[in-house]
Structure 1
Amino acid sequence: MNAVEIESAISDLAQQPFDPAEFPYAFLEAFGNKATTIKRLRSGTSNKSDFSGSWGGVLQTNNIHIAVADSGAVTQTLAALKASPATVRAKAKFVLATDGEMLEAEELESGETVACKYEEFPDHFGFFLPLAGISTVKQVRESSFDIRATSRLNRLYVELLKDNPGWGTEEQRHEMNHFMARLIFCFFAEDTDIFAGSGLFTDTVSEMSARDSANTHDVISEIFRAMNTRQEEHAAANIPRWVGKFPYVNGGLFSGSVDVPRFSKIARSYLLHIGSLDWTQINPDIFGSMIQAVADDEERGALGMHYTSVPNILKVLNPLFLDELREKLEEAGDNSRKLLNLRNRMAKIRVFDPACGSGNFLVIAYKHMREIEAEINQRRGEPNRPTDIPLTNFRGIELRDFSAEVARLALIIAEYQCDLHYRGKKLALAEFLPLSSDNWITCGNALRLDWLSICPPTGTGVKLQADDLFELPLDQAQIDFENEGGETYICGNPPYKGNARKTDEQKADLKFLLDGKFEKWGLLDYVCGWFIKAFEFAKTTPTKFAFVATNSIAQGQHVSNFWKPLFDKGLRFFFAVRSFKWSNLAAHDAGVTVVIIGSDLARGIASLFDGDSKLQTHNINGYLLPQQNYWVSAVAKPISGIQPMIKGNYYGLSEHLLMDPNKMLELKARGVPESHIKRFYGSTEVINAKARYCLWFEEDPENEILELADLRARMKAGVDKRKKSKDAVSNGMVKRPHQFREMNTGKQNTIAVPVVSSENRDFLPVDLLGKDAVMSNKCFALFDAPLWNFSLVASRLHWVWIGTVCVRMRTDFSYSNTLGWNTFPVPTLTEKNKADLSRCAENILLAREAHFPATIADLYDPEKMPENLREAHEQNDEVLERIYIGRRFKNDTERLEKLFELYTKMSAEAPSKVSINKKARRKA
C-alpha cells in the first residue's frame, strides 16, 4: 500500500463505530498487513503481547504493541505498554493505546508522541507510516495534510470521471484538469481569508445545491463566473446575489469556459468533505508533486509516492546559489548599503527549471530567497516592505498541462504564505487579489523549445499573443522581461530514462539534439538532453546549472562519450553530490540512486559532497572524483596484454536446454549421458550457489540420445520458439536447437565473474569453476586462464577500478569486459610475480573451502566474513600492490590515482588496440 491508500483506510476506520475487540486488527490491516498475518495474530500464534487489560493487547514483532484501554486510562495504558518486557523482547517500534475517545502513541526510538481525540488520529497517520515499511522524513510527518488532501481529491476526480466520461477524453482532459486547479484555489482561499468569511466556497455549495446534487454543477459554475467578473459588473453580467461575496480573482484562473462536470450524490459528498479539511496547512513544497498524479492515468496507480524531500532538493539549490547568497548576507552584517545591494541583486536572480513538474524546485527556491530577503529587510528596519522578488523570475517548462497549472498555483500559494509570514495577514490579503495574468510557466517539450526565448539573456522581450495565466497550454513564455545584470540558475530533476527505457519520442528528442555531435548518442540517458540544452544556454549568458541524474551518467561510456566533448568545450563541474537514494514515499526505501551535477563554464574551487562529507578541490572529473580529468573508453583487447575475458553464452530462446536439479536427476536416470549435462552459471548461480543445469551438445545429438526422456520434444519446442525470432533465424539458432547461440566453455577450468554484484562486498564475487561449467551471459569468463588472473579480479585494486569506470545498476556493480577488464592497467609481471599471485589465489580458494558449504554470498557478507578469508584477501592485496608501487596503497583514492596514471600511459603506448567505437566506424 502507498501512503494515500493508507490514509484512506485509516480515515475509514476512524469514521466507523469504535469496536474495542477489533480495533488493533483493523488498525494493522489499514497499514497493509495481509489477512494471513492478521489471522495469526488473532489466534495468538504470533501475538507476543503480555498486556492483561480488559481487552488484552496485540504485539506484532518488530512493529507495534497495541492495547485498548479502559475509559479514561489511555495514558496509564500507554505507560504500561512502554514498560512491558514483551515490548522490549519483540523489538516493537511503536506503542499505542486508545479507549475510543482518546488515542496516544509513541515511537520508542525517537520518543516522539501523538495524543489526540480518537476521530482525529488520521490527521497523524504520517507518524505511523514506518509500520507499512514506508521510510518517512520530518517534512512528511509534519505535512500529513497534503497526503490527505491528495487522497480526497483523487476520490473526487475518479468519481467525476465515472459520471462524466467525456471529461476524461483527450479533448476535455485539459478542461477537467483546469477545473481541479480552480477547486484547489477555492479550498485554499476560503480557509486563509482570501475569501471573506471562512468556508465561503464549501458552505455556498452546501447551501445552494440540492442534496440530490442535481444542480451542484450549476452552483459551482456561477461561483466561478463571479470570480471572473469585477464586483461593479455583477449586475450587468446577471451574477446572482448569493455569489456576491466572492471576489474578483482574474489571473486567467476563472476566465474562459465555466463549464463544470455533473456531480453525483457521492461526488458532492466528496467535495464537501474536501472543503472540511484545514487548507491553511497546505505545503506547496510537496503538495504539487503529489497532486500532479491525480490527473495522470499512469501515475494514479502510484498516487502518494510522488514526494520529493525538501532536503534532497536543497542538495541541488544550496550549492547552486543559495549558500552563496547566505554567505553574502553573513558578510553584510548590518551594513545597510551591502544589504541593499544584496537585495537588489536577488531581485534580478532568475531560477529556471526546464523540467519543473509541479514546481517544487521553484517553490522551494522562492521560499528560501524570501527568507533571506526578509532577514535583509529586518536588518534594514523595513520589516513590512513588499517583496522585490517577482514570481515571474521563477521560470519553468513542463510537458503536461495540469502539472504546469499546479506549478503556477503552488507558486501563487507560496507567495501568499510568505507574505502572510513576513508581512502579516492584512498586507498579504491587500495585495493578493486580483492575480496577475502573466505567464511564467511554459507548457511544452523542453528539449524542443528555445530556452533563450523562455528565459532570455538580458533585455530581451518575449511577449507573444495575449493569453491568460491559466488558459490553454502555451509553447512560449509571455513576459516582456528586462534583466540587465541579472543571474540565471538552471536546476531540476529531469526524466532520466536509460537507453532501453526511452520511448520513440524521447529517442527522437535526443537525435534532434545530439546526432552528429556525439558518438553513439543513442546509448546516452535521456537526461543528457537537459545538460546539453543548459550548456548551450550557458555559452550565451553567464549561467550555472545543476540537475539530478541517475548515477549512470557519471560511469561507463557516458564519461568519455558524453562529458569529454563538453569538457573540451569549456564545461566544468563546480559541485557534485555522489551517489545517494532520491527518496520518496514508496515502501521499503524504494527510490532511484542518483547523483547531482552542478556545472558552469568558469574556473575555480569545486565542492564534492559524499554523504555527510564535503571536499574542496580544484577539479571534479567525469567520474565525480577530486582528480584530474581521465577518459576511459571501451576497447576490444586488454591494454595490459592479459588474457581476454569473454561474456558467457546468451541463453535467450534456449530455455528448453535448461533444467533444475530434479529434472537433471531424472534425465540421468533415463540414460542421458553425463557428458551432455553440465552445471549452468549466471550471476545468481555463482554468488548464491544455486544449482542449475543445461544440456550440452557440441555436435548434433544422435537419434538414440534424442529418443531418451523428452529430448526430442524439447528440441522441437526450441525450434518452434526460435522460428518466431528474427535474431534466432539470423544467427542460425533455428537449425541447431540443441545449442546456445554461443558455445564457449573452458577445457580445464573457468574463472567466472558475475555481471551484476553488490557494492556492499569488499571484493568482487569471482569464482573458479571446473571443466563442466557453462557460463550464461550473466557472467564473464576467463577460460583456462592461469590462476594469477583470479588474483587480479579478486583484488581491491580491481574492485576500485570497476566501481569507477563501469556502469552501475543502482549502486550495484555492473561488470564490463571491454570497460573494466580490457582497460585495467596491470604492470608487466615477472614469472615470480605470477607465481606469488597464483599462491595468493590458492589461499583465497582454500580459505573458502574451509567453510564449505557456505556460499559466496555468505562468505563475503561484510559483517560475517571469516577472518581467515579476509586475511587471504589482505595478503593478496599486499602482494599485488607491492608490484604496483612497492608498498600498500594508503586508500582507494591513491589506488585510483595510480591506476589512472598507468591507464593513461599504457593506452597511449598501445595505439594498435583500437577502441570499439573506432572499429565500429571502420566497419560501417
Structure 2
Amino acid sequence: MNPVEIEQAISDLAEAPFDAAEFPYAFLEAFGRKATEIKRLRKADTNKSDVGGVLQRGNIHIATCAPGEVSATLAALKASPATIRFKARFILATDGQEFEAEDLIGGDTVACAYTDFPDHFGTFLPLAGISTVKQIRESAFDIKATGRLNRLYVELLKDNPAWGTTEKRHDMNHFMARLIFCFFAEDTDIFADEDLFTNTIDRMSNRDGSNTHEIIGEIFRAMNTANKDRATAELPRWADVFPYVNGGLFSGSTEVPRFSKIAQRYLSHIGGLDWTRINPDIFGSMIQAVADEDERSVLGMHYTSVPNILKVLNPLFLDDLNAALEEAGDNGRKLANLRARIAKIRVFDPACGSGNFLVIAYKQMRAIEAVINQRRGEADRRTDIPLTNFRGIEIRDFSAEIARLALIIAEYQCDVTWRGQKEALAEFLPLDAQNWITCGNALRMDWLSICPPTGTGVKFQSEDLFQSPLDQAQIDFENEGGETYICGNPPYLGAKWQSGEQKNDLRRVFEGHTSSWKSLDYVAGWFMKAAEYGNHTASDAAFVATNSICQGQQVPILWPCIFATGQKISFAHTSFKWSNLASHNAGVIVAIISISNRSKSTKRIYSTTRDGHIEVRQTDEINAYLTAAPNIIVEPRRFPSDGLSRMLFGNMPRDGGHLVLSGEQRETLINWDPRTERFIRPYIGSEQMIQGKPRWCIWVHDREEDEARSIPCLQEIFAQVEKFRSGSAAASTRDFAERSHRFVQIAGTAKKHSLAVAKVSSERREFLPVDLFDHNTIVSDLLFALYDAPLWNMSIISSRMHMVWISAVCGKLKTDFRYSNTLGWNTFPMPKLTDKNKLDLSKTAEGILLARARHYPASISDLYNPDSMPSDLAEAHRENDEVSERIFSGRLMKNDSDRLETLFFHYAKKYQGSTA
C-alpha cells in the first residue's frame, strides 16, 4: 500500500463504530499487513501480548481498554516484558475516545482524540515497510488531500469517459487546477466567506448531483467576470458573490464534467479539509500523480523532499545570499544593496514538473528578504521579488498549470507570514496575467527566449495565464544585471530506455559536439543546454542527475563537450540515494553536479556519510569523476600498466545450455558412461564464485573431438548444441554449429591457476570479489580472468585502492559496481613495482586466501557481508591495503577521496599524453 491508500484506510477505520476487540487487527490491516499475518495473530500461540492486547513481533503492541484508562494502559504496554522481549517498535492504547501511542525507537509520541488519530498516520508508516516517515509525516495534509482528489478524479472519469481521452485530458486537468484554487481560497479568506465554494455547491446542487456541473460552471464564470462587466453578465445572485480572479485560471471554457451523487460527496469531503495546511513545496508533485495513470501506484510518494532540493539550491546560491546577509549585519546600505540584488535573481528550472524547486527557491529568498526588511525597520514593505523571476519549462500541461498555481499559493502564504493576512488579501486578487511557466520540450526550446539573461523578455502578452500556447513565455520585464541560476531534477533515462523521440532530442542537442551521444543518459541533454546557455551570459547551473554520467563510458563522451564551452564543475554532491521514495521502490542513486563559467577560486565537494551527515571538502578543482583532482578523462586502454598481468574475458559457450551441467546432470552422465568424467570440468560464473554454488561444463579440446564423439551421450549433447547454433540469428554463432563439441569463444585456459574477477559486484561489499582457481576450472564469460598471473595481482584487485578506482571510472549497473578490464584494470595507474613490492603483495594475498580457508565452506557472499565479515579476514584486508597504499604514496590513506586523488595524480603522471 502507498501512503495515500494507508491514510484513507486509517480514516475509514476512525469513522467506523469503535470495536475494541477488532481494533488492533483492523489497525494493522490498514497499514497493509497481510491477511495471513492477521489470521496468525488471532491465535493465542502467535499473539505474544502479556497484557491482554495484540503484539506483533518486531512491530507493535496494541491494547484497548475501558474509558479513562488509556494513559495507564500505555504505561503498562511500555513496562511489559513482552514488549521488550519481542522488540515491538510501537505501543498503542485506545478506548475509542482517546488515543495514545509511542515510537519506542524514534521517541515520537501521539496523544489525541480517537477521531483525530488519522492525522498522525505518518508516525506508524514503518508498519507498512515505508522508511520515509519524517517527510510523509510532515506532509500528512498533502497526502490526505491528494487521496481525496484522486478518488474524485477517478470517479469523474468513470462518469465522464470522454474527459479521459487525449482531446479532453487538458480540460480535465485544468478543471482540477481550478478546484484546488477554490478550496485554498475559501479556507484562507481569499473568498469573502469561509467554505463559500463548498457550501454554495452543497446548497444549490440537487441531492443526486445532476446539476452540480451547472453550479460549478456558473461559479467559474463569475470568477472570470471583471467587476465592470458584472452588471451585464447576468450572473445568478449566489454566484455573483465570488470575486474576479483573472490570470487565465477561469478563462476559456466553463464546461464542467457531470457529477454523480458519489462524486458530489467526494467533492464535499475535499472541501471539508483544512486547505490552509497545503504545502506548495511538495503538493504539486503529489497532485500531478493524480492525473498520471502510470504514477498513481505511488501516490503520496511521488515528490522531491525539501532537504534534497536544498542540497541543490543552498550551494548554488542560497548559501551565498545568507553569507551576504550575515556580513551586512545591521548596515542599512548593505542590506538595501542585498535586497536589490535578490530582486534581480532569476531562478530557472527547465524541467520544473510541478514547480518544487521554484517554490522552495522563492520561499527561501522571501525569508532572507524578510530579515532584511526587519533589520531596516520596514517589516510591512511589499516584496521586491517578482514571481516572473522564477521561470520553468515543463512538457506536461497539467504539471505546468500546477507549478503556476503552486507559486501563486507560495506568494500568498509568504505575504501572510511576512506582512500579515490583511496586506496579503488586499494585493492577492485579481491574479497577474503574466506567465512564468512555459509548456513544451525543454531540449527543443531556446532557453534564452524563456529566461533572457538581461534586458527585456519576450514581448508576447496574453490575458490567459493558465492557457498559454506551447513554446511561448509571456513575460515583459526589465532586469538588467541580474544573476541567473539554472536548477532542477530532469528526467534521467538511460540510453536503452529512451524513446525514438527522446533519442532525437539528444541528437539535436549534441549535434556538432559529439557523434557518440547515443550512449548518454537523457539528463545529459540538460547539462549541454545549460553549458550553451552560459555561452551568452555568466550563469550557474546545478542539476540532480544519475551518477552514471560521471562514471564509465559516458565521461569521455559528455564532459569534454561541456568543458569545451568554458564551463567547469563548481560544486558537486557525490553519489547518494534519492530518499523520497518508500522502501518498496528501488532507490535511485544520484549525484548533484553544478557547472559554471564564472571563475571561482574555491570549489566544494559534498558527500553523505553512512550515518547521514554531510561532509564538505574545499578544493581548487573538481574533475568529471567528481574528485578533487586534475581534469583528466580516463579512456579505455588495450593493455594494462607495466607489470600487471593481462585480464581477459571468460569463456562463452553459446550452446543453448546443453554444454553446462548441474551437479545432478554431471552425476547422471558419469553413471551412464564413466568415460565422460575426463571431459567434465568445474565451470565458474559469478554466482558460482560469489555464492559458492557448484556448476560444471563439458570441455573438449579439438584434439579430443573424435574420442568425445565416440561416447553416445556426449554425441547426443553435441547434436543438440549444433541444432541450437544452426538456428541462431547471429552468423558468428551459426559458424560454430559444426564445431558443437566446444565453446564458441575461448579466451584462454590456465596451465597452473586462474584469478577470476566478478563483472558485477554489490555496492555493499568493501572489496571486489576475486578468487584463485586451479588450472582445471573453466572461467565463464560472466567473469574476467587472469590466466597464470602472479599472485600479487590478486592483492591489487582486492585492495581498497582498486575498488575506489573501479567505482569512479567504470560506472555501475543500477547500484552495483560494474567491472571493466579495458577501462578499470588496464587504466589502473600502478607505480613500477620492485621485487620487494611484489613479494609483500603476494604475502598479503596469501593472507586473504588463508583467512577465507579458515571459514570454509563459507562463500564470498557470506565472508564479505559488511555486517558479519570475520575479524581475521578484515585484518588480512587491512594489511593488504596498508602494503598497497604505501606503494602509492609511502603512507596510509585517510579516506576514499584521498585514495582517488592519489590515483588520479599517478594516472596523470603515467598516461597523460600517451595512447592506449
Question: Do both proteins adopt the same fold according to a TM-score greater than 0.5, normalized to the shorter chain?
Answer: yes
Please give the secondary structure, in 2, of the residue aligned with 1:556.
coil
- Does structure 1 retain, via aligned residues, the 8 Å contact 2:718–2:741? no
Q: Which residue does 2:801 correspond to in 1?
A: 797
Q: Which moved more, 1:125-134 or 1:893-902?
A: 893-902
Please give the secondary structure, in 1, of the residue aligned with 2:290.
coil
Question: 1:46-103 CA distances to partner (integer Å, 9 max, x unpaired)?
Answer: 322211xxxx211122211111111221111111111212112222221111112221
Matched, 1:448 2:444: yes
Matched, 1:607 2:604: yes
- In the TM superposition, what is the alpha-carbon distance from 1:342 to its structure 2 partner? 1.1
Q: Which residue does 1:838 correspond to in 2?
A: 842
Whole-Å Cα distance in 2 between the matches of residues 909 and 439 of structure 1?
A: 51
Determine which of 751, 756, 781 is the counterpart of 2:755.
Answer: 751
Quickly say closer, same or farther: Cα 1:523–1:87, change in 2 above 3 A. Answer: same
Please give the secondary structure, in 2, of the residue aligned with 1:301.
helix
Determine which of 813, 817, 821 is the counterpart of 2:821.
Answer: 817
- Does structure 2 retain, via aligned residues, the 8 Å contact 1:177–1:402? yes
Code of the residue aligned with 1:189 in structure 2: it is A
Which runs of 5 or more structure 2 residues have no equivalent in the other structure? 609-613
- In the TM superposition, what is the alpha-carbon distance from 1:585 to its structure 2 partner? 3.5
Structure-to-structure mapping, 1:670-681, within 5 angstroms? 670-671=672-673, 673-681=676-684
Q: Which residue does 2:4 correspond to in 1?
A: 4
Q: Which moved more, 1:6-15 or 1:73-82?
A: 6-15
Code of the residue aligned with 2:429 in structure 1: it is L
Q: Which residue does 1:862 correspond to in 2?
A: 866
Whole-Å Cα distance in 1 between the matches of residues 531 and 114 of structure 2?
A: 55
Please give the secondary structure, in 1, of the residue aligned with 2:908.
helix
Please give the secondary structure, in 1, of the residue aligned with 2:543.
strand
Whole-Å Cα distance in 2 between the matches of residues 639 and 658 of structure 1?
A: 35
Please give the secondary structure, in 1, of the residue aligned with 2:76.
helix
Determine which of 40, 44, 59 is the counterpart of 2:55.
Answer: 59
Quickly say closer, same or farther: Cα 1:159–1:589, change in 2 above 3 A. Answer: closer
Q: Which residue does 1:690 correspond to in 2?
A: 693
Whole-Å Cα distance in 2 between the matches of residues 462 and 273 of structure 1?
A: 43
Q: Which moved more, 1:337-346 or 1:802-811?
A: 802-811
- In the TM superposition, what is the alpha-carbon distance from 1:162 to its structure 2 partner? 1.4
Q: Which residue does 1:633 correspond to in 2?
A: 635
Whole-Å Cα distance in 2 between the matches of residues 737 and 87 of structure 1?
A: 64
TM-score for both structures, normalised by structure 2: 0.94
TM-score for both structures, normalised by structure 1: 0.93
Whole-Å Cα distance in 1 between the matches of residues 214 and 147 of structure 2?
A: 25
Code of the residue aligned with 2:594 in structure 1: it is G
Q: Which residue does 1:493 correspond to in 2?
A: 489
Quickly say closer, same or farther: Cα 1:478–1:615, change in 2 above 3 A. Answer: same
Code of the residue aligned with 2:37 in structure 1: it is T
Question: 1:368-400 CA distances to partner (integer Å, 9 max, x unpaired)?
Answer: 111111111111111111111111110000011
Q: Which moved more, 1:305-314 or 1:134-143?
A: 134-143
Code of the residue aligned with 1:370 in structure 2: it is R
Q: Which moved more, 1:587-596 or 1:501-510?
A: 587-596
- Does structure 2 retain, via aligned residues, the 8 Å contact 1:670–1:709? no
Code of the residue aligned with 1:823 in structure 2: it is T
Whole-Å Cα distance in 2 between the matches of residues 45 and 660 of structure 1?
A: 42
- Does structure 2 retain, via aligned residues, the 8 Å contact 1:2–1:585? no
Determine which of 343, 346, 363 is the counterpart of 2:342.
Answer: 346
Quickly say closer, same or farther: Cα 1:83–1:515, change in 2 above 3 A. Answer: same
Q: Which moved more, 1:181-190 or 1:742-751?
A: 742-751
- In the TM superposition, what is the alpha-carbon distance from 1:833 to its structure 2 partner? 4.1
Matched, 1:314 2:317: no
- In the TM superposition, what is the alpha-carbon distance from 1:530 to its structure 2 partner? 0.7
Q: Which moved more, 1:725-734 or 1:318-327?
A: 725-734
Q: Which residue does 1:786 correspond to in 2?
A: 790
- In the TM superposition, what is the alpha-carbon distance from 1:548 to its structure 2 partner? 0.6
Structure-to-structure mapping, 1:522-601, within 5 angstroms? 522-588=518-584, 590-601=586-597
Code of the residue aligned with 1:546 in structure 2: it is A
- Does structure 2 retain, via aligned residues, the 8 Å contact 1:649–1:740? yes
- In the TM superposition, what is the alpha-carbon distance from 1:435 to its structure 2 partner? 0.9
Q: Which residue does 2:370 correspond to in 1?
A: 374
- In the TM superposition, what is the alpha-carbon distance from 1:535 to its structure 2 partner? 0.9
Whole-Å Cα distance in 2 between the matches of residues 559 and 325 of structure 1?
A: 32
Q: Which moved more, 1:101-110 or 1:661-670?
A: 661-670
Whole-Å Cα distance in 2 between the matches of residues 717 and 105 of structure 1?
A: 67
Please give the secondary structure, in 1, of the residue aligned with 2:298.
coil
Q: Which residue does 1:464 correspond to in 2?
A: 460
- Does structure 2 retain, via aligned residues, the 8 Å contact 1:398–1:404? yes
Question: 1:866-924 CA distances to partner (integer Å, 9 max, x unpaired)?
Answer: 2332333333334444444455455544443443233223324753x3xxxxxxxxxxx
Q: Which moved more, 1:210-219 or 1:462-471?
A: 462-471
Question: 1:398-440 CA distances to partner (integer Å, 9 max, x unpaired)?
Answer: 0111000010010111111111111111111111111111111
Q: Which residue does 2:900 correspond to in 1?
A: 896
Code of the residue aligned with 1:20 in structure 2: it is A
Matched, 1:808 2:812: yes
Question: 1:630-683 CA distances to partner (integer Å, 9 max, x unpaired)?
Answer: 221111222335222123345778345545444444444444823444444333
Code of the residue aligned with 2:49 in structure 1: it is S
Q: Which moved more, 1:285-294 or 1:650-659?
A: 650-659
Quickly say closer, same or farther: Cα 1:835–1:136, change in 2 above 3 A. Answer: closer
Whole-Å Cα distance in 2 between the matches of residues 246 and 544 of structure 1?
A: 44
Please give the secondary structure, in 2, of the residue aligned with 1:753.
strand
Whole-Å Cα distance in 1 between the matches of residues 469 and 359 of structure 2?
A: 20
Structure-to-structure mapping, 1:490-529, within 5 angstroms? 490-518=486-514, 520-529=516-525
Code of the residue aligned with 1:482 in structure 2: it is E
Aligned Cα root-mean-square deviation (Å): 2.4
Question: 1:503-538 CA distances to partner (integer Å, 9 max, x unpaired)?
Answer: 222111111111331252211211111111111111
- Does structure 1 retain, via aligned residues, the 8 Å contact 2:363–2:414? yes
Determine which of 224, 240, 262 is the counterpart of 1:266.
Answer: 262
Matched, 1:287 2:271: no
Quickly say closer, same or farther: Cα 1:728–1:698, change in 2 above 3 A. Answer: farther
Quickly say closer, same or farther: Cα 1:677–1:17, change in 2 above 3 A. Answer: farther
- Does structure 1 retain, via aligned residues, the 8 Å contact 2:141–2:277? yes
Whole-Å Cα distance in 1 between the matches of residues 898 and 273 of structure 2?
A: 58
- In the TM superposition, what is the alpha-carbon distance from 1:715 to its structure 2 partner? 4.0
Which runs of 5 or more structure 1 residues have no equivalent in the other structure? 914-924
Please give the secondary structure, in 2, of the residue aligned with 1:292.
helix
Structure-to-structure mapping, 1:39-54, within 5 angstroms? 39-51=39-51
- In the TM superposition, what is the alpha-carbon distance from 1:775 to its structure 2 partner? 3.5
Q: Which moved more, 1:499-508 or 1:370-379?
A: 499-508
Structure-to-structure mapping, 1:196-211, within 5 angstroms? 196-211=192-207
Whole-Å Cα distance in 1 between the matches of residues 735 and 159 of structure 2?
A: 56
- Does structure 2 retain, via aligned residues, the 8 Å contact 1:2–1:587? no
Please give the secondary structure, in 1, of the residue aligned with 2:531.
helix
Matched, 1:93 2:89: yes
Quickly say closer, same or farther: Cα 1:267–1:909, change in 2 above 3 A. Answer: closer
Matched, 1:622 2:624: yes
- Does structure 2 retain, via aligned residues, the 8 Å contact 1:640–1:825? no
- Does structure 1 retain, via aligned residues, the 8 Å contact 2:122–2:134? no
Question: 1:117-151 CA distances to partner (integer Å, 9 max, x unpaired)?
Answer: 22221121112112212122534312201011111
Matched, 1:647 2:649: yes
Determine which of 387, 390, 394 is the counterpart of 1:391.
Answer: 387
Matched, 1:871 2:875: yes
Code of the residue aligned with 2:656 in structure 1: it is S
- Does structure 2 retain, via aligned residues, the 8 Å contact 1:137–1:309? no
Whole-Å Cα distance in 2 between the matches of residues 735 and 677 of structure 1?
A: 20
- In the TM superposition, what is the alpha-carbon distance from 1:587 to its structure 2 partner? 2.2
Quickly say closer, same or farther: Cα 1:842–1:519, change in 2 above 3 A. Answer: farther
Question: 1:174-216 CA distances to partner (integer Å, 9 max, x unpaired)?
Answer: 1111011111111111111111111111111112111212111
Matched, 1:14 2:14: yes
Q: Which moved more, 1:703-712 or 1:634-643?
A: 703-712
- Does structure 1 retain, via aligned residues, the 8 Å contact 2:709–2:715? no
- In the TM superposition, what is the alpha-carbon distance from 1:739 to its structure 2 partner? 5.6
